[in-house]
Amino acid sequence: MRRAVRLPARTAARTFGTSRALRSASASSRSFYADEPPAPVLATASLPGPESKRHIEDLKSTFETRSLNMMVDYTRSAGNYIADPDGNMLLDVYAQIASIPVGYNNPALKRAAASPEMIDAIINRPALGNFPSHTWASILRSGILRAAPRGLDNVFTAMAGSDANELAYKAAFMYRRQQERGGRDVDFTPDEVESAMRNESPGSPQLSILSFKNGFHGRLFGSLSTTRSKPIHKLDIPAFDWPQATFPQCRYPLDEHAEENARAEKASLDEVDHLISNWRVPVAAVIVEPIQSEGGDNHASADFFRKLRALTRKRNVLLIVDEVQTGVGATGRFWAHDHWELDDAPDMVTFSKKAQTGGYYFRSRDLLPNKPYRQFNTWMGDPAKALLFRAIVDEVERLDLVANTARVGDYLYRRIEELAARHPDHFRNLRGKDRGTFIAFDSPKRDAFLVKAKAFGINIGGSGASAVRLRPMLTFQEHHADILVDALDKVAKSL
C-alpha cells in the first residue's frame, strides 16, 4: 500500500523509527491513508535544507518570517507527515497549531474540494444574512449542526476562532441588556440610541466577560481582552477593563492529587463568584477552555466545570465554552466538554481550527438578539468552509476517529509514562490522561527539545512557559505513537 517517498537525487535519506513501526499491540497499525511514508524521512543533513532556506529568504521580503517554524511543501505532505521542499518528511504532531483534522491531502477532502458544490461556493460567495443559498439549510444540517454539542441546537457561523468568540460575547451582552431592559419586546430608549453612537453608556454599556488567567481566546480587541496567555500577545494593545480569575492550579496526574486539586478548584470557583459579585464592570458571561491550550495545557476536573456551570447559572451569567482548540475529536470525545457530562449544557460553545470554519453554537433562541441586523456582517461565515467541515465530519464518522483518538491517546499516554519514568527531568507533569491525544508535559529545556525533535523526524509544538504539547491529527495511530515515543526518547537522551 505504501509507496516510497520521492527524494532529491542528490541526498541520501535517513529514516527513523522503522525498527519499531510494528511494535504496537493494537490492531489498527495500518495507516488510514496509503501514501504515508512508513516513518519520517530526513533527506538533508540538517534542517532547514538548502531549498527551504532559499524559499525562506525569498519570502522574507514579502511576509512575516520571524515566526517561521518550517517551510512546507503541502503537495508532498501526506496524512500525518509534513514535507518540506527538500524532501524531508516529518511526523507532524503539531498539525498547523492543532488545526488539521484528518491528514494532509486527505482523499475524501480532496473529493469534497473538487466537487461542483464546493466550486460554486468558492466563486459565488454569499452574504449569508441577506442572500443565503437555497442549499444553506441543508449544508448546515448535514455538517455544522450534525456536529452540534448536546443541548446546543443553534449556530451562528463565523470565520475563525477570534471572531467566533467575539460574536458570542456580543450575543451575551445583548442578552444581558435585554434582561435588564425587561425582555425582548422592550425597545431601546432614546438615550441608549444616542449614547451608543458616542461609545458611551447606557447605549454602549459597561459590561464585561470574565476569563481565566493563562486562558487564550483570540487576538482581536474583544477576544484579546479575555486572553491572558503571554505579555507578547497583549502588549501595547488597548484592552477592556475585564476581570480574570485564577484557573485551578492543579497537580498531575489529576486523580493522584484529587484532594489538593479540589482545594485549588474551590479557590478558583470562589474567586469567580467573588469577581461576579464585586468586579467594577458587571460580568455578562464567563468564558473558559476545557483545557487551557495556548496557556500550557492546564487541566481541571470535570467536577470543577460542573460546578462552574452551576455557579454561572446561579449568578445569572452565561457560560461560554471555548472549544476552538479542544473541539472536533482530539480529546477522545467530539467536544472536550462532553467529558463533563453536564446536565445543564453551556449557553454557548465556540469552535474553529479543525472545523476549518468557525462560529458559536448556542442553547436557546433567546440568545438571538431581538432584532435583525444586530448580529450581522457581510459574509457571516463561508459555505465553502462549511462544506469542508461537513466532509471532515463525514470522515470522522467513516473512520470512527473519535474512538481512534481515545484509544490511541490511552496508548500514547501509557508509553510516555514509561518514558517519564526513564527520563523524569524531560517529561514532567505529564497530563491529558483520558483526554485522547491531547497530551502535554513540561520540559525544562523546552525550546531546545522542540528543535531537537525535528532532527529526529518529528514536528512538535510548545505552549505556555515550558510545555511540550502534542496535537496530532485525528488520524494518528499506534504505529505513529511508537515512532513519536522513539524519537522523544532520543531527544531526551540527546539533551
Interface with its own copies (CB under 8 A), residue total 125
| 287 strand-pairing partners | 320
127 forms part of the interface with its own copies (CB under 8 A) = yes
Q: Which of 297, 309, 294 is nearest to 224 (CA)?
A: 294
Measured between alpha carbons, how far is residue 48 from residues 7, 77, 204 in Å?
15, 16, 51
Span 7-26, contacts to its own copies by CB under 8 A: none
Smallest gap from Cβ 87 to its own copies, in A, equals 12
125 forms part of the interface with its own copies (CB under 8 A) = yes
Smallest gap from Cβ 285 to its own copies, in A, equals 12
- Decide if 472 contacts 480 (C-beta within 8 A): yes
Residue 238, all three cell numbers: 488597548
Nearer residue to its own copies within complex by CB, 120 or 273: 120
Residue 278, all three cell numbers: 464585586
What is the rounded distance in angstroms from the CA atom of residue 243 to the CA atom of residue 266?
Answer: 18
Nearer residue to its own copies within complex by CB, 122 or 267: 122
Smallest gap from Cβ 43 to its own copies, in A, equals 15
What is the rounded distance in angstroms from the CA atom of residue 73 to the CA atom of residue 83?
Answer: 5
Smallest gap from Cβ 184 to its own copies, in A, equals 12
Smallest gap from Cβ 28 to its own copies, in A, equals 23
CB-count exposure of residue 154 (10 Å: 0-12, 13-18, 19+): middle
Query: Which one among 24, 31, 52, 80 touches its own copies, defined by CB under 8 A?
Result: 52
What is the rounded distance in angstroms from the CA atom of residue 78 to the CA atom of residue 72?
Answer: 12
Tell me which stretch binds its own copies (CB under 8 A): 218-226, 339-347, 417-425, 446-454.
Answer: 218-226
What is the rounded distance in angstroms from the CA atom of residue 219 to the CA atom of residue 165?
Answer: 10
78: CB partners within 8 A, 6+ apart: 33, 35, 36, 37, 89, 103, 104, 105
Residue 488, all three cell numbers: 522523544
Examine the residue annotation and report whether 486 is marked as an active-site residue of this protein: no
Span 138-177, contacts to its own copies by CB under 8 A: 140-141, 145, 154-156, 159-163, 166, 169-170, 173-174, 176-177
Q: Which of 365, 362, 382 is nearest to 167 (CA)?
A: 362
Pairing of strands 458-459, 318-322: unpaired
73 forms part of the interface with its own copies (CB under 8 A) = yes
Examine the residue annotation and report whether 216 is marked as an active-site residue of this protein: yes
Smallest gap from Cβ 398 to its own copies, in A, equals 16
99 forms part of the interface with its own copies (CB under 8 A) = yes
| Annotated active-site residue in 110, 270, 378, 425 | 378
Span 368-407, contacts to its own copies by CB under 8 A: 368, 371-380, 384, 388
| Annotated active-site residue in 84, 157, 353, 489 | 353
| Annotated active-site residue in 16, 32, 173, 216 | 216
CB-count exposure of residue 233 (10 Å: 0-12, 13-18, 19+): middle
What is the rounded distance in angstroms from the CA atom of residue 102 to the CA atom of residue 275?
Answer: 41
Nearer residue to its own copies within complex by CB, 38 or 282: 282
Query: Which one among 1, 4, 25, 64 touches its own copies, defined by CB under 8 A?
Result: 64
Span 432-471, contacts to its own copies by CB under 8 A: none
279 forms part of the interface with its own copies (CB under 8 A) = no
Span 228-257, contacts to its own copies by CB under 8 A: 228, 231-242, 244
Nearer residue to its own copies within complex by CB, 102 or 485: 102
| Annotated active-site residue in 35, 163, 297, 322 | 322
Examine the residue annotation and report whether 378 is marked as an active-site residue of this protein: yes
Q: At what angle do helices 258-278 and 302-314 cross, to 10 degrees?
A: 20
Q: Is the peptide bond before 472 cis (omega within 30 degrees of 0)?
A: no
Tell me which stretch binds its own copies (CB under 8 A): 73-81, 328-336, 396-404, 466-474.
Answer: 73-81
Active site members: 216, 322, 353, 378
